[in-house]
Amino acid sequence: MAATNKKGRSVAADTGQGTKHDEILSQNGASVNLANWLKDFRAAHPKLQGTKIVETVRVLFPGFDKTLFSKASSPEKYGVCLTPEVVRLLEEAFEGEIKDGSA
């Protein structure tokens, strides 16, 4: 029997094995956890302003704003994380800043 939520809609059953929907492969082939990626990215780039990240993401997603950025920064609280496309965009956009630490 399929699992259902409070409204009676079908939902995926928890198999205890976890899912891979929150992981992607980064440019170097390493597995990246999307839920924590933004926190790790910000920690690696302490001088990079959030507004610059928001402006960059708006290239792909014009509706992305500071509120969504804030929610994606706390996925455990809001259940919001970035898409693989956004992760790749930010990795490419700030690749030079990763190497030399400038912002």
- pLDDT of res. 35: 77
Asked if residue 10 has pLDDT above 90, the reply is no
Predicted confidence band of residue 72 (pLDDT cuts 50, 70, 90): very high
What is the tally of structural domains in the chain? 1
What does the pLDDT average to over 4-15?
56
- Cα four-point dihedral sign 3, 79, 33, 83: positive
The pTM of the full predicted model, rounded to 2 decimals, is 0.65
Does residue 49 lie in a domain region? yes
Lowest mean pLDDT among 17-21, 27-31, 96-100: 17-21
Cβ proximity of 82 and 24 under 8 Å: no
- Domain containing residue 87: 34-103
The Cα–Cα gap between 82 and 34 comes to 6
Q: What is the pLDDT of residue 3?
A: 62
Q: What is the DSSP string of 55-92?
A: HHHTTT-TT--HHHHHHHT-HHHH-----HHHHHHHHH
Is residue 50 a part of any domain in this protein? yes
Residue 67: is its pLDDT beyond 70?
A: yes
Q: Is 85 a domain residue?
A: yes
Does residue 63 fall inside a structural domain?
yes
